[in-house]
Chains A and B, each alone.
Chain A
Amino acid sequence: MSPRYVSGKVLGSLGTLAFVIVFNFFLFRVVEGNPVATLFRGRNLTDAQRAAMRHQFGLDGSKLDQFWHYLVQLAHLNLGRSYETNATVLSEIGAAAWPTIWLVGISTLLSTVIGVAIGIVAAWRRGSVRDHALTSFTMTTYAMPDFWLGMLLLIVFSVLLGWFPIGGISDPTSNTTGIALLADQAYHMVLPCLTLTVAYLGEYAIVMRSSLLDTMREDYLTLARAKGLRDVLVRRRHAVPNALLPVVTLIAINFGFVLSGAIAVESIFSWPGLGHATYAAIRAPDLPMLQGLFLVFSASVIFFNLLADLAYAYLDPRVRTS
């Protein structure tokens, strides 16, 4: 990987980030009109109070002034204060980020491993009963709205069977700490994690299957078989690693999107993460929060896109050595 390749990709990502920052400003400030009015619907405020509020949220002055103000604040990592809680948006997002990172991280790991495995098995015995069964299953999970799947799991495992809690991240009535708290949180995470895993594995299985089917038509597999390699080795050494290359990219890109994709599922399970915060911010509506969340979601997609590009370049010698 040449330094030129890396710096080119990094610069491209920074450009995209700049676009998102500008876009974010116009989306919220210009289209919205007057957030202070939205915020204090019906309540009487003196003009002085209004002006103070407008200043606090950086809404006074011309659009250009506002934009400058927004950039300066952003440079100081100041995303404003939540209309709802009056805490800084950054601290609200920081608090909500960890539950989402855990939930999304674990479920992405599981869904990729399981999905890729399903894709390999289905493609290798293409057209068999097993292929048809697996492909029907993955197509169906792919067609399900993730929150509906969550509702079904909630009903079966919490309401009917009573095996898992209805929602939340820990039992609010107990005040455990340390290992016991972690265990309680893990217990609460089972259902949302299962939901996201099943909801996302379909895509990986379908992509892996089709990528492996493409690879299986390659001449170098015929060469490997002609050399006298066992089928298992042909698959393990030649077919699967090569078919995985595009899938690795997809996984990295998707990880950025999954952070924001868990909005509905987190709401179902009252999981106090970024998705749930978004849901709350929509219902409020809490514009600074929405704006901050939007920025974080976009930045994460850009970051993981960059990671995908670099990972691909590292894994594929055709890119790495040129």
Chain B
Amino acid sequence: MSTPLLLDVRDLHVTYPSGGGVPAVRGVSFQLERGETLGVAGESGCGKSTLAGALLRLLPPGTEVSGEVLLDGENVLTMREDRLRAVRWTELAVVFQGALHTLNPVKRVGWQIEEAITTHERGIPRSELRGRVAELLETVGIPGRRAVDYPHQLSGGQRQRVLIALALACSPHLLIADEPTTALDVMVQAQVLRLLEDLQRDLGLAVVFITHDLSTLAAVCRRLLVMYAGRVVEDGPSDEVFGSPKHPYTAALAAAFPIIGDARFRMAPSGLPGDPPDPRHLPSGCTFHPRCSVARPECASRAVELWPAGEGRRAACVQVLDEVPT
């Protein structure tokens, strides 16, 4: 018997209760093996952060979630409360965006890491706890003595490192990194990414990166998943998806975001006109067609799905059908 996949998401739907129901995620499926890295890309509002919240059932009460989230073969969505709490952080931990309010602003950062450990392991002596916190901080390149600092006393990059240390506190198998570099300046972004890459390799972690920055994902992840209006519109090996996009939305994203440190991209105009659609009033047919530069008349009415688009690749665009030999 083969070991189950680390993460197997099947036909996930998430609908927020406000205003008669806002569908934020509409049928997303993907798999992740141990030690694998997956990137999830898309503009803000495309449902990628909702996806992250759904994996650990962190969405606000009243949110409708259907489908399956199999974590090590166990469905997170139907798990009992106590089992869910036990799984949280020990199996799957989240690296949140390092803005000031992600950490509790009135608690010392060391205390906040200790809290994660003591929630899952009881009866650890104080001195050992201190040692483990210092060790975790050192792992992410922060001196252990900074454990007594409050979040506002750290720089943005240091806060992000603390969040990574916090995520590692209970040695999870899977990390979800939700916009882990958004609040940081470019140099620090590169450092934090390198840290995450190193940790992923050294600890054999599986990582799901979520960001709007396609170039970052292409550099860090083996596989890529592009989301638009709550759906996956393209997936495949990351260098191929980034290098030769099959979906016009992916192409626009790839053009819109610079490669870090590449001077040519610094002045590049954002390549995509308009805003993501309002989830309450989605366009008919292909949801991307109003913004699409190569849209055809049929796109306004024809339903699209993820069609095979070459070796290990899929894309939800009628263009890929042209290439398939009939």
A interface residues with partner B (beta carbon < 8 Å): 218-220, 222-230, 233, 237-238, 241-242, 245, 315-318, 321-322
Contacts and interface: CB of A to CB of B under 8 A. Distances in A.
A63 to B, nearest CB: 52
B150 A218 contact: no
A237 B152 contact: no
Given A318-B150, A318-B152, A229 B115 contact: yes
Contacts of B88: 225-228
B298 to A, nearest CB: 42
B225 to A, nearest CB: 22
Task: Report which residue of B56, B107, B166 has the largest number of chain A beta carbons within 10 angstroms of its beta carbon.
Answer: B107
Nearest to A320: B150
Given A219-B99, A237-B115, A318-B150, A228 B86 contact: yes
Nearest to B85: A228
A220 B101 contact: yes
B106 A317 contact: yes
A321 B150 contact: yes
B58 A220 contact: no
Interface string B108-143: 000000011001100000000000000000000000
A228 B58 contact: no
A227 B99 contact: no
Interface string B73-115: 0000000000001111110011011010111111100000001
Given A219-B101, A220-B101, A317-B150, A226 B89 contact: yes
7 contacts: A225-B58, A226-B58, A226-B88, A228-B120, A317-B105, A317-B106, A318-B152
A222 B102 CA distance: 8
A220 B93 CA distance: 14
Nearest to B169: A227
A276 B275 CA distance: 65
B104 A238 contact: yes
B191 interface: no
Nearest to B94: A226
B153 interface: yes
A222 B103 CA distance: 10
Q: What size tier do the contact residues of chain B reach? A: 20 to 34
Nearest to B150: A317
A126 to B, nearest CB: 9
A225 B58 CA distance: 7
B18 to A, nearest CB: 12
Contacts, number: 72
Contact of B106 (A227, A229, A241): A241
B73 to A, nearest CB: 20
A241 to B, nearest CB: 7
Given A316-B106, A318-B106, A321-B153, A228 B101 contact: no
Contacts of A318: 105-106, 150, 152
A220 B103 contact: yes
Task: Report which residue of A223, A227, A229, A317 has the largest number of chain B beta carbons within 10 angstroms of its beta carbon.
Answer: A227
Given A222-B58, A318-B150, A321-B150, A227 B104 contact: no
Given A241-B106, A245-B106, A317-B106, A227 B116 contact: yes
Contacts of A229: 85, 115, 119
Given A227-B89, A227-B115, A228-B88, A219 B102 contact: yes
Task: Report which residue of A219, A228, A245 has the largest number of chain B beta carbons within 10 angstroms of its beta carbon.
Answer: A228
A268 B135 CA distance: 66
Contacts of B105: 220, 242, 317-318
Given A219-B96, A230-B85, 16 more contacts: A219-B101, A219-B102, A220-B103, A223-B96, A223-B102, A223-B104, A224-B115, A226-B56, A226-B89, A226-B94, A228-B119, A229-B119, A233-B119, A316-B106, A321-B150, A321-B152
Interface string B147-180: 0001011000000000000100000000000000
A218 B88 CA distance: 19
B85 A242 contact: no
4 closest A-B pairs by CB? A228-B88, A220-B104, A228-B85, A227-B116
B249 to A, nearest CB: 28
Contacts of B107: 238
